[in-house]
Structure 1
């Protein structure tokens, strides 16, 4: 477990570091905001569409080897960027290669967890992994700010490539990883994973609920920037969410085993949504908005830990990678839709009303999910 946590922290920090460098590089060389937006879409949204396939890869091979291969592919792609700093089309190709490898890595890293820790420790293990990766993601931009003036874009990208190599080295020491027998083909596996998700009511409800909450609340980052204005308030509001997120993971790592996944999921959905609603309602009082966003961050940690633990306990091992691939892919699509719809609402109304609407919609999704999850399958009924 410790090797997985350290590997994830290293590669996420490096990736966050290089993303800042690439955004600044693309902005300065093209002078176009659209080019930066395309870079983000290629790095985040496009790989999410491959969720069913990336999860199937994690189920077809030994998961440790899958993760090591993904880190090596990412190291090669980022290394090529550092050596060449190519024109935008080729830069986007290399970013896409890295992003797809990362999308394969993510479900494999979550699917391998039940093989590394006892069932009772899964909530704490998910919390520890979430804390490490989110802390690393927060640290990345600060590292970029400190390193860019001295080693410039190529040097920062080289640091990222080394971080992937070190991560791959750490993953060599993982023990107890599992693999599933290969079936007729990757597409067949992907269809089987989607079929299992759609046929299993509790899994379908959890994934749809998660995506619904994200679809309503994903616009909050943009809305908070508008709400905070051009001064430091926007950064502080965004930082409040990060602080709450890290505190939430830390608390769940210590006390999360006392909460079942259903309670964590519903609490997380509700607190996440309520935080945005209260932020919009208290927009004129900065301290109240800051506190609401900090509490909301803890809610995001709860829904993340609860959902991951639920899938790890309810999905058979040979389908677990596909379950996570489908979840993360669907969440990526939901976030993109939230940005688009939220931008229209922001332009037509105000940041405060957008946040209130997002929170209210998320609470409605929470209520519907709670009704659908009135019963929860016992672990003994799940085939392992």
Structure 2
């Protein structure tokens, strides 16, 4: 814990950490807000599903593209217009009543212009602190993400009940502006320059560590996405137990993030952290019929979440060139989005066929696949125990033989 406190005392760290959480808070609200709003507007979940898909596709494209644009035009020059367009698009969705095709276009534009704050802030972190403090900072970043997923859905449903679903979307737009301005006006966002990458877009995926983390993220986040679907199928979407079980999973992630923040990151750490998720997910499958104990499996599976995020971010920071870090983080984000969407779709089919147990089996399949990948690539993973986690320099000295 002392490591966390000392890291927060570093100049600009606390402001960047908390402002980016506030700016990203709408991520925990918009899925439910759009779902409720569109379903009430059109009277069907199909339209809501298409809207969420359009928004998700836009976000998936924006991940690596936004990271690339950060290095080409500068962080403020990318973050400011995307923030304004995204907020304006959300406002238009909330205050107008477009036809479904126009709504899908607005949703796609909203997803496409979500500000690339995660790759921006994770690119800046190594310029503020190094070594064990940078590891602690990545752990705090991953842990604070859980606040978004714990409070976000609760805030959305509360605002929708007390005001309206439109109010939830407007609140998301307001938080995006407030948090975004706070983040963008932070001095490091204006002073840190990301060199333009000399490589074409997508070439960063040739880095073994980046590709491993992208594949692992797709599978691991896919597992947690299927777990969410299984919980809804098990208790019903109107049951408060859904929120309790998923909330305890998020609490487990917070606990895991705090504990892992001071642990060394070894070559085997990826496999170890995913193994914890395997244990929790299998336990949830075993306890699927016991509502009183099911939360234990979700808590253990969740305990691997923040440590997994922290490790993937640290590994990318330590192994790619500074000019490629923003794009690499963008690919990580896209892999997570696609993983969650794919697993949710597969889990939906499995739930229709075999109930909640079917969705849980999908979660087990995804997380076991993630573990197999992590074990098979150990020799290519970096040992970060004594690493300062700084990105590779753009140029390296060469030795000229006599």
Instruction: Indicate whether the TM-score tops 0.5.
Output: yes
Q: Secondary structure at the match of 2:379?
A: coil
- Cα distance, 1:270 vs structure 2: 1.5
- Cα distance, 1:247 vs structure 2: 2.5
Equivalent positions of 1:112-131 (< 5 A) are 112-131=124-143
**Aligned match of 1:179 in 179, 193, 207?**
193
1:108 corresponds in structure 2 to: 120
Q: Structure 1 residues 217, 3: CA separation in 2 closer, same or farther (over 3 Å shift)?
A: closer
Verify: 1:351 aligned to 2:365, yes or no: no
1:383 corresponds in structure 2 to: 392
- Cα distance, 1:180 vs structure 2: 3.4
**1:52 and 1:329 in contact (8 A); partners too:** yes
**1:274 and 1:360 in contact (8 A); partners too:** no
1 or 2, which has the higher helix percentage? 1
Give RMSD over aligned pairs.
2.9
2:64 corresponds in structure 1 to: 52
**Aligned match of 2:101 in 89, 98, 106?**
89
Q: Structure 1 residues 145, 368: CA separation in 2 closer, same or farther (over 3 Å shift)?
A: closer
2:228 corresponds in structure 1 to: 221
Equivalent positions of 1:323-362 (< 5 A) are 323-352=328-357, 354-356=359-361, 358-362=363-367
1:161 corresponds in structure 2 to: 173
What are the Cα deviations for residues 24-62 of structure 1, in whole angstroms up to 9, with x where unaligned? 221111011111111211222442145432321122232
- Cα distance, 1:73 vs structure 2: 2.6
Q: In 2, distance between residues paired with 1:125 and 1:115?
A: 12
Q: In 1, distance between residues paired with 2:37 and 2:61?
A: 26
Equivalent positions of 1:356-371 (< 5 A) are 356=361, 358-371=363-376
Verify: 1:279 aligned to 2:284, yes or no: yes
What are the Cα deviations for residues 287-316 of structure 1, in whole angstroms up to 9, with x where unaligned? 332111011111111111110111111111
- Of 327-336 and 146-155, the range deviating more from structure 2: 146-155
Q: Structure 1 residues 360, 30: CA separation in 2 closer, same or farther (over 3 Å shift)?
A: closer
**2:27 and 2:148 in contact (8 A); partners too:** no
Q: In 1, distance between residues paired with 2:213 and 2:165?
A: 41
> Across the two proteins, how many residue pairs are aligned to each other?
374
Q: In 2, distance between residues paired with 1:279 and 1:295?
A: 9
2:322 corresponds in structure 1 to: 317
2:19 corresponds in structure 1 to: 7
What are the Cα deviations for residues 242-267 of structure 1, in whole angstroms up to 9, with x where unaligned? 22123223334xxx133216454223
- Cα distance, 1:102 vs structure 2: 1.9
2:309 corresponds in structure 1 to: 304
**2:87 and 2:176 in contact (8 A); partners too:** yes
Q: In 1, distance between residues paired with 2:38 and 2:176?
A: 22
Q: Structure 2 unaligned runs (5+)?
A: 1-12, 394-402
**1:268 and 1:302 in contact (8 A); partners too:** yes
1:248 corresponds in structure 2 to: 256
TM-score, with length taken from structure 2: 0.82
Q: Structure 1 residues 85, 141: CA separation in 2 closer, same or farther (over 3 Å shift)?
A: farther
Q: Structure 1 unaligned runs (5+)?
A: none
Q: In 2, distance between residues paired with 1:377 and 1:217?
A: 25
- Cα distance, 1:99 vs structure 2: 1.5
Verify: 1:98 aligned to 2:79, yes or no: no
**2:94 and 2:169 in contact (8 A); partners too:** yes
Verify: 1:259 aligned to 2:273, yes or no: no
What are the Cα deviations for residues 292-349 of structure 1, in whole angstroms up to 9, with x where unaligned? 1011111111111110111111111100011111222123223222223223333333
Verify: 1:76 aligned to 2:88, yes or no: yes
**1:71 and 1:165 in contact (8 A); partners too:** yes
Q: In 2, distance between residues paired with 1:148 and 1:382?
A: 44
1:372 corresponds in structure 2 to: 377
- Of 345-354 and 332-341, the range deviating more from structure 2: 345-354
**Aligned match of 1:208 in 215, 218, 223?**
215
What are the Cα deviations for residues 103-134 of structure 1, in whole angstroms up to 9, with x where unaligned? 63332232222223323222221222233332
Q: Secondary structure at the match of 1:86?
A: coil
Q: Structure 1 residues 64, 49: CA separation in 2 closer, same or farther (over 3 Å shift)?
A: closer
- Cα distance, 1:195 vs structure 2: 2.1
